[in-house]
Amino acid sequence: MGLGELAGPPSASATVDWKLYYSLPIVTPWAIVFAAVFLVKTNRHPRVLAVLVPLAILFVAWSAFVKSLGWSDIEGRVYTLMFHSMLAGLGVIWLLCGGLSRRGRLGRFFIALVVMVGICAAAMAGQGLGRELSFQLVMLEAALAAALLGSLALARRLCGERRELVRFSLWLGATVLTLCLAAVALFGALLIVVSGVGIDRRIVAQLLQTGLVVAAWMYAADLLLMLFAVRSEFYRGRFLECLGWPAGYDRDG
């Protein structure tokens, strides 16, 4: 009968037979994070599990945020999948940064982009959203992931060799907002051109909301990771590797 396999005679109360595999799409991004922890040799150390702490904090905060907005089921599910995918993508990139740091700038960017988009595609599979909608959401996630990674690279470049937390966080805030809004604008324009429909104010408002929500939460995620970098030498080393900065982080800059 569809989701939950509703069962029972017409005169009886509806019951839901919930199967464990119905939750697999939302579990998939985090399964990939744990795989990066246990399968990558350099991550086989108890302290690496500390990378899950800021992710867990953001996970709980996001759940409370979604409940407070009163989104429809489909809106909440789509936004949650996108957020979980991008958050898990950041976690995987953090865990793989030892290998990524040996790549050139473009190599790091494209590998990180493939990781984030791949996690999103895996999360979207089996959601019953339809092939066309799932494809559009993966493409939107790709545009936003490119914007997020681009903002990190641009903020790092604007800082030059001045490895200062405050300076970097300010540049990151400006670039992540600008690039995320530009990404959804470009995605919306391409969607209109491909579909052949006129400009719909409702769609424009939805895309604008998506850009703002993603920008705000990804900036919060980056800030939280940076705060952990200030307090932990291990986090600081990973942070510097991700950005391609040499050792010698200016904590108090």
Average pLDDT on 51-56 reads: 80
Whether the per-residue pLDDT at 7 is higher than 70: the answer is no
What is the helix, strand, coil percentage profile of the chain, to 5? 80, 0, 20
DSSP letters, 179-213, are HHHHHHHHHHHHHHHHHT----HHHHHHHHHHHHH
DSSP 8-state symbol, 82:
H
Whether the per-residue pLDDT at 64 is higher than 80: the answer is yes
Residue 5 pLDDT level (bands cut at 50, 70, 90): very low
Whether the per-residue pLDDT at 216 is higher than 70: the answer is yes
pTM value is 0.76
Residue 248 pLDDT level (bands cut at 50, 70, 90): low
Provide, rounded to the nearest whole percent, the portion of the chain with pLDDT above 90. 1
Q: Which two tokens stand for residue 112?
A: 């990180």
Residue 112: closest CA among 139, 138, 137, 92: 92
Residue 168: closest CA among 98, 209, 225: 225
Predicted confidence at residue 128, as pLDDT, reads: 61
Predicted confidence at residue 186, as pLDDT, reads: 86
Whether the per-residue pLDDT at 207 is higher than 50: the answer is yes
Distance in angstroms (rounded) separating the CA atoms of residues 180 and 167: 20
Q: Which two tokens stand for residue 101?
A: 């740091």
Residue 251 pLDDT level (bands cut at 50, 70, 90): very low
> Who wins on pLDDT, 223 or 21?
223
In tens, the pLDDT along 164-185 reads 777 888 888 889 889 988 888 8
161's enclosing H/E stretch is none
In tens, the pLDDT along 150-159 reads 988 888 888 8
Distance in angstroms (rounded) separating the CA atoms of residues 73 and 120: 19
In tens, the pLDDT along 122-161 reads 877 766 666 777 788 888 888 888 998 898 888 888 887 6
